[in-house]
Amino acid sequence: MSQKPDASFAGNLLRWFDIHGRKDLPWQRTPTPYRVWVSEIMLQQTQVATVIGYFDRFMERLPDVASLAAAPLDTALHLWSGLGYYARARNLHKAAKEIVARHGGAFPESIEAVEALPGIGRSTAAAILSLSRGQRHAILDGNVRRVLTRYAGIEGYPGMKAIETQLWALADQLTPVDRSAAYTQAIMDLGATLCVRSKPLCADCPVERACIARQRGLQDKLPSPRPRKARPQKTAHVVIAVDSSGAVLLERRPATGIWGGLWSFPQFDGVPEAEAWIASALKAQGSRHPWPPHHHAFTHFDLSLYPLVLSSVSPGSQVADSDRYCWYDPRTPVEVGLAAPVTELIKAVTRGR
């Protein structure tokens, strides 16, 4: 850190928040630990505007810890479909079960107990307890990292351990005792609305006079980017089997890994493996229609799916008798979690009928 932080940081930020801060988001109206927890998990890697609709639907169906814990995982994944990063939903469901089993259904009050729950790290635990219970805890989510690296002029990739330690110390130093919940929301709002990744609105920032990045013209250089690595490219072949009624055969993905617990098309490393499965599992000799690859970008790699469409399969083929498979009818869809590329391909198949 280039210089000691300005002692007026919290005060200036809170005064700005009182006028410009976000105070009427759905999870802010009744900020119970459960509602704040679900919102914080949804907001990881996802913009507020996208989250609002998902949050409202989730709360309407699963309004509390008990209902989430009692619901099938498929219900949680169905409500999450399209939001991405599905491990978040799996961990949310698993954590709800732990809260019921270990905490009598009451959300834990200590940060150590909250952080011990699946899918909840240090910053998320701190945000939940701060926003729902007014406890003083420093947070360090993506928005806050960006604010603090610019404010204090901290160079170096924030994901490096030494930089992260420095940022945590600064975050704790700046977090006030009074109005800590408002401060937590304020610093997240600052990063989300003014101190954005590109073209930050420095002229409107309440702490810009003490911001080292602003003083030195480093706004576009901080935070320092992740060291570049070649982006992995992966491929897979999927069988899209469609019966005469228009239902599509889906297979449940393994609990871990890509699209864990979601329903997708049977997937294979190559065409020979796909053809062998068609012959053995579906006993189908109908026409195959190779489609152009469907590309999908994940956080750390790109995936190209090569669809092999098999039409007019016998309805209710025996393979569907297993818990591993189901026939999914887009006209009367069951509540299962579907990855975005699967939804897109199902729509494409339906349009082509």
**Which tokens hold the place of 143?**
């928005």
Residue 61's alpha-carbon distances to 80, 97, 182, 325, in angstroms, are: 12, 17, 29, 25
User: Letter for the amino acid at 300?
Assistant: H
| Degrees, nearest 5: CA angle 155-161-162 | 50
For 34, the 3-state DSSP assignment is: helix
User: Letter for the amino acid at 278?
Assistant: I
Residue 53's alpha-carbon distances to 29, 37, 132, 150, in angstroms, are: 15, 16, 21, 32
Are the beta carbons of 4 and 209 closer than 8 angstroms? no
User: Which residues contact residue 100 at a Cβ distance below 8 angstroms, ignoring those fewer than 6 apart?
Assistant: 65, 66, 69
Residue 342's alpha-carbon distances to 27, 79, 237, 267, 349, in angstroms, are: 30, 15, 13, 12, 10
Q: b or e along 49-71 (b: 16 or more beta carbons within 10 Å of the residue's beta carbon)?
A: eebeebbeebbeebeebeebbeb
> Considering only CA atoms, which of 307, 314, 324 is closest in space to residue 240?
307
In terms of DSSP bridges, do strands 294-297 and 302-313 run parallel, antiparallel, or are they unpaired? antiparallel
Catalytic residue among 40, 155, 251, 344: 40
Catalytic annotation present for 40: yes
Q: Cα separation of 127 and 241, whole Å? A: 45
Are the beta carbons of 282 and 319 closer than 8 angstroms? yes
Q: Which residues are catalytic?
A: 40
